[in-house]
Amino acid sequence: MPDSVDTEITDAELVRRAKAGELEAFETLTSRHEQRVFALAMRMLRQEHDAEDVTQQTFLSVLENLESFRGEASFSTWVLRIAAHAALKIIRKRKGLPTVYLEETTEPDGYDSVPHPEYIADWSRSPDQLAAQNEVRRLLDEALTRLDEKHRLIFLLRDVEGLSVRETAEALELSEANVKVRLLRARLQLREELTRVLGDPGKQLPRSHHRHE
Amino acid sequence: MKCEELLAMLNEYVDGTVDPTVCAEFEEHMAGCNPCQVVVDNIRQTITLYKDGQPYTMPVKFRAHLHEVLRQKWREKHPVTTGDEEKSEHQP
Ligand SMILES: [Zn+2]
């Protein structure tokens, strides 16, 4: 890793330098973002080999298209957008589907379609205590896998990578309204699955109570 | 506020982007509705667990490979001309 480049330098400045032909600046940009890209790809694909493919494709594409990056979005959002599309492509290929992107019209968008919480219980342990356990990690990955890829991507970009709703919408070329409703579904579905395993059965609350007011 | 209305505003509340009047109503509802309170807690814990969970680390070997591929591609795109600043990139 080129450590002569100051860590204080912004991505925007590094992009400018890379465009001007400084390899070192490009490598620093890569070093800054490669872990996030790889982690996103691992969570999407759950296979190291595929995650490596996505990571390599992403940074080759960054190199190829750097000239056309105008900086309307932040560099990291742009990189994650490329990575997201690369990951989706592999998923589509696995399923034998054409590699079309996240069309907005395939499902109901209203909040009416949001599933109501069914299993409601306090968790028996804190996230801190849970995070350290291998079986919890597996549970998290499996719950993610049961989300369809669009919901999974939205949850990962927004809640794990910390993009804003707007940035997530930009990265996936969706409307903000669409991102919001899908994010809500994703969060509720994950909550449901995790609570069924991590919830304290002794503290389960009746949902009938909840469905009315 | 009804449970359904609370559900529709869950994101904004959890993300802290709900407007203050609505926020007060939201909290008033939760104070009297334990299931909604627990769902909100669960959602927060779910997000925390994913966000702060162990990250996947890129294998060191792959990283070296990646950077080599990128340097090669870079050289194709930026052929080194004499007197250019990229001299250090020449391999002996
Ligand atoms: Zn309620």
> Mapped to the 3 state alphabet, what secondary structure does chain A carry?
CCCCCCCCCCHHHHHHHHHCCCHHHHHHHHHHHHHHHHHHHHHHHCCHHHHHHHHHHHHHHHHHHHHHCCCCCCHHHHHHHHHHHHHHHHHHHHCCCCCCCCCHHHCCCCHHHCCCCCCECCECCCHHHHHCCHHHHHHHHHHHHCCCHHHHHHHHHHHHCCCCHHHHHHHHCCCHHHHHHHHHHHHHHHHHHHHHHHECHHHCECHHHHHCC
Per-residue pLDDT at A134 exceeds 90: no
Which residue in A has a C-alpha nearest to residue B13's C-alpha? A184
8 A C-beta contact, residue B5 and residue A114: no
Where exactly are the structural domains of chain B? 3-51
> How many Cα atoms within 13 Å fall on the side-chain side of residue A37?
32
> Between B46, B56, B71, which is nearest A23 by CB?
B71
Instruction: Read off the pTM.
Output: 0.85
pLDDT recorded at residue A113? 73
CATH C-level class of A11-95: mainly alpha
Instruction: Tell me the residues surrounding ligand 1 (ion) with CB < 5 Å.
Output: B 3, 33, 36
Interface with chain B: mutation pick from A29, A61, A151, A160, highest number of B CBs within 10 Å: A160
B44-84 pLDDT, tens digit per residue, is 999 999 998 777 899 999 999 999 999 999 999 988 765 55
8 A C-beta contact, residue B11 and residue A176: no
> A151-176 in b/e burial notation, b at 16+ Cβ within 10 A?
bbbbbbbbbbbebebebbbbbbebee
How many angstroms is it from A149 CA to the middle of ligand 1? 30
- A119-128: average pLDDT: 90
- From A27's Cα to the closest Cα of chain B, the distance in A is 7
pLDDT recorded at residue A126? 87
pLDDT recorded at residue A115? 81
Name which residue leads in pLDDT, A104 or B25.
B25
pLDDT band at A205 (very low <50, low <70, confident <90, very high): confident
Q: Which fold has domain A104-209?
A: Arc Repressor Mutant, subunit A (1.10.10)
- B82-92: average pLDDT: 51
> Between B52, B56, B78, which is nearest A21 by CB?
B78
State the complex-level ipTM: 0.84
In chain A, residues under CATH classification 1.10.1740.10 are 11-95
User: In the structure encoding, which two tokens stand for residue B8, read together?
Assistant: 């529709």
Q: What's phi and psi for A14, nearest 5 deg?
A: -65, -40
Mean pLDDT across chain A, nearest whole number?
87
Count of all residues that appear for chain A in the document: 213
Q: Would the CB atoms of B46 and A42 count as touching at under 8 Å?
A: no
How many angstroms is it from A150 CA to the middle of ligand 1? 28
Q: Would the CB atoms of B33 and A210 count as touching at under 8 Å?
A: yes
| Percent of chain A at pLDDT exceeding 90 | 64
How many angstroms is it from B10 CA to the middle of ligand 1? 11
A192-204 pLDDT, tens digit per residue, is 999 999 999 888 8
Q: Distance (Å, rounded) from C-alpha A168 to C-alpha A177?
A: 11
Helix (H) or strand (E) holding B24: helix B20-32
